[in-house]
């Protein structure tokens, strides 16, 4: 299936030079979230604290952050970890 150039223009896939989509902005800081459980208010609080500092963080899981090659490949130079939220049991 081939998509016509007009269709690519309409959905915004083509870049300014008409050949490739634009590159996403660089995000050298990443927020590391736990692999298990739910991302709770602790993650949201840390994320928006970074936004308030003017940082646009990437979000990576703990498993990916432990792999040295993955952050390098994405251009991530700083990792900020978030403590996992405690799981509460309702009675």
pLDDT digits (tens, 9 = 90+) for 26-67: 899 999 988 876 667 788 888 898 999 999 999 999 999 999
**Nearest-10 Cα torsion for 26, 32, 36, 39:** -80
On the 0-12 / 13-18 / 19+ scale of CB atoms within 10 A, 71 is buried
- Neighbour-count burial of 25, counting CB atoms closer than 10 A to its CB (0-12 exposed, 13-18 middle, 19+ buried): exposed
Q: Give pLDDT, residue 82.
A: 82
What number is the average pLDDT over the span 78-84?
Answer: 81
Q: Does a structural domain hold residue 14?
A: no
Number of domains in the chain: 1
Q: Can you point out the beta strands (E) in the chain?
A: 29-33, 58-61, 78-81
Q: How far apart are CA 43 and CA 72, in angstroms?
A: 23
Range of the domain at 71: 26-85
Residue 74 in any domain: the answer is yes
pLDDT (0 to 100) of residue 88? 59
Whether the predicted pLDDT of 1 surpasses 90: no
Give the integer Cα–Cα distance in Å for 73 and 41.
29
13 within a domain of the structure (yes/no): no
Would you say residue 72 lies in a domain?
yes
Percent of the chain with pLDDT over 90: 35
Binned at pLDDT 50, 70 and 90, residue 73 comes out as very high
């Amino acid at each position: 299936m081939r998509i016509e150039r007009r269709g690519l223009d309409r959905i915004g896939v083509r870049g300014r030079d008409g050949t490739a989509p634009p590159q996403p902005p660089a995000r050298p800081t990443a927020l590391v979230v736990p692999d298990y459980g739910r991302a709770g208010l602790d993650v949201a609080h840390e994320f928006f604290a970074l936004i308030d500092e003017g940082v646009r963080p990437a979000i990576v899981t703990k498993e990916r952050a432990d792999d040295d090659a993955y952050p390098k490949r994405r251009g991530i130079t700083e990792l900020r970890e978030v403590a996992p939220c405690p799981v509460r049991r309702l009675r």
